[in-house]
Chains A and B, each alone.
Chain A
Amino acid sequence: MSNRIAFNPQDRFVVSIGNTLIVTTRSGDTFGHDITGHTADRFFQFAGAKAAFNTVDRFVTTMGNMLIVITQSGDVFGHDVSGRTIGPGFKFAGSKAAFNAVDRFVVTIGNMLIVTTQNGDVFGHDVSGRTIGPPFKFTGSKAAFNGARDRFVVTIGGTLIVTTQNGDVFGHDVSGRNIGPPFKFSGSRMAFNPEDRFVLTVGNTMIVTTQSGTAFGADINVRDIGAIFRLNPDLSIRLHAKVWTNPTIPIQTMLTRMQDVFGAAGIGVVLASSQDFTGTNIITALRDLDVVPTCPAGQLTGEQIQLFNNRDNVGEFDVVAHFVRTTSPALNGCASHPDDVFGAAVTQTASVWTLAHEIGHVMGLRHIDGENTNCPDSMPRCCSTPNVSRLMTGCSTNNIVGTPVLVQSEIDTLGSSSRTRPS
């Protein structure tokens, strides 16, 4: 299994539906990668119909849960996508679309198919059910008319986004049938390497895939492009979330922060599954978990053993995070786990870094040295000199500013953990 994305020469179009990145091949086979936060999971193959395998198929885009294929002659075909299955192809009624040689990019915003031409004129078709409405020309600005310099066009929300050969990214807000004036995004440049092959968006994240299958992403916040991260590191941890209580800081936020700090060390974090235990028909006692004080490795209470017996979907080398409400004694998290299942408990009042910190312990990391200088004998871990730039601070992760780092020795420990696997 691999999490390299669209690296085969036969891979032809890359689009997204929801949080799934979709690769269509020349043979019509279709593959997907689920994306959670800042990490792409390994590929899977869609069941069902083949799609976009005709040589005359020219553009592929998506609208809602529909894969849309447009041919050279302007015929438009669709496939409903349900879970991991591609529905049978159907032909849209109504107008043809994007059949002119000068038509260069096809994207969608809402229920509108948008065609940009070589000279920057932009045309649209309202799509209603399985019917393509007649074409109309957008008023306002031209877009993406700089020939080969404008290299990729995608959309996020109501914004048309053009990336250029040198990595500059421009946007046009689309309002009704009007293209707003261009603006330049601040922040990171995107897709400026010749080997960059496909650009797409998933949520508010712009993703660039390369010829080798490595992929990068950056979150877009209004008119700013955030820091670039590696979407599919060579090594990864497969994490399963067991949710007994939703923490104050959303799990997705904790996961994304964990992906940021582990990703900077070249290790991806894939959310392999999430299981909800917040309902009434569960053992409520485990929400408020009895743990061995200070969470020594390998020492567990009966409740911790019971907690980790919930291991649906958890593979041999996977890691589990149990989101409980409290522990007794009161902790942000506890990394003690049985020998045969690796994981940690994270409490409701955990910090945004607790998940990453506790899983760091699970993977063999210890609290850093140097934070307890000149402590009194009665209090040898007094936190007199905390280092808030490090994930594995033994003091407070609440005080961490920015993204904490892992040093090389910690990265080596993570890389050699039995829980870290080739992606």
Chain B
Amino acid sequence: MAVTLQDVIRQLDREEPDYEQAAQLGPEALPHLRQLIQGGNPGLAAKAACLAGMMNSNESVALLELAARHNDPVVRVAAAASATGLTNMPASLAAAFLDDADPGVRKWGLRSLEVNHPQGIRTKVEKIVKDDPDSGLREQARKIVDRMQ
């Protein structure tokens, strides 16, 4: 049976969504996740971004790129955090997170680099070590640079 938008919302619009279960909706859920990310409800958009990353499918990267451009940092944070679920994160997506004005997005962007090391991202991380106004993020970035040695 085809997965509907309502099926997806029913999984995500909860106090504590069970993302492992929601991922069972499969790739048919992805167009609906795109719709939710583009919709006007930041809470659902964030949850949709979260599920997209967790599903780690071919289209997940495109959805996270979309979420990374969202004007609400709540959605961008969710995108950055769920990028830890990707096996292959493109450098452009990692860079979008690390360049974000919001420290929460940068925090989770750095965290995603603990499992992904896209080519060419090291310079961005070193810039955070050097210039980020948040001392916690500078320290977090320093540890990642050390691991990249």
Point out residues on A near B: beta carbons under 8 Å.
283-285, 287-288, 290, 293-295, 325-326, 328-334, 347-351, 354, 357-358, 378-383, 394-399
Contact = CB atoms under 8 A, between A and B. Distances in A.
Contact of B136 (A284, A290, A383): A284
B59 interface: no
A382 B6 CA distance: 12
A80 to B, nearest CB: 44
Contacts of B42: 349
B34 interface: no
Most buried by B among A283, A348, A354: A348
B5 to A, nearest CB: 14
Contacts of A397: 15
Interface stretch (B75-83, B89-97, B118-126, B141-149): B75-83
B10 A331 contact: no
A335 B19 CA distance: 17
Contact of B15 (A283, A332, A348, A381): A332
A331 B104 contact: no
A328 B78 contact: yes
Given A328-B108, A395-B10, A398-B13, A381 B18 contact: yes
A285 B14 contact: no
Nearest to A375: B21
Given A329-B19, A379-B25, 8 more contacts: A294-B20, A325-B74, A326-B78, A329-B82, A351-B15, A378-B21, A381-B18, A396-B15
Contacts of B13: 395-396, 398-399
Interface of B: 10-11, 13-21, 24-25, 42-43, 46-47, 49-50, 54, 73-74, 77-78, 81-82, 103-104, 107-108, 111, 134, 136-137
A348 B14 contact: no
B74 A326 contact: yes
Contacts of A349: 42-43, 46, 74
Contact of A325 (B77, B134, B137): B77
A77 B111 CA distance: 65
A404 to B, nearest CB: 13
A332 B13 CA distance: 9
A173 to B, nearest CB: 40
A395 B10 CA distance: 7
Given A288-B77, A395-B10, A395-B14, A330 B49 contact: yes
A381 B21 contact: yes
A378 B74 contact: no
B136 A293 contact: no
A329 B17 contact: yes
A333 B15 contact: yes
Nearest to A293: B19
A285 B136 contact: yes
A347 B73 CA distance: 13
Contact of A284 (B21, B82, B134): B134
Contact of A329 (B25, B43, B81, B134): B81
Contacts of B104: 284-285, 287-288, 325-326
B26 to A, nearest CB: 9
Contacts of B24: 378-379
Contacts of B54: 329
A330 B16 contact: no
A334 B14 CA distance: 11
B15 to A, nearest CB: 4
A296 B74 CA distance: 23
Contacts of B77: 288, 325-326, 328
7 contacts: A328-B81, A329-B54, A331-B15, A347-B43, A349-B43, A379-B21, A397-B15
Given A325-B77, A329-B54, A396 B136 contact: no
Closest 8 CB pairs of A and B: A349-B43, A328-B81, A288-B104, A330-B50, A396-B13, A332-B15, A330-B46, A378-B24
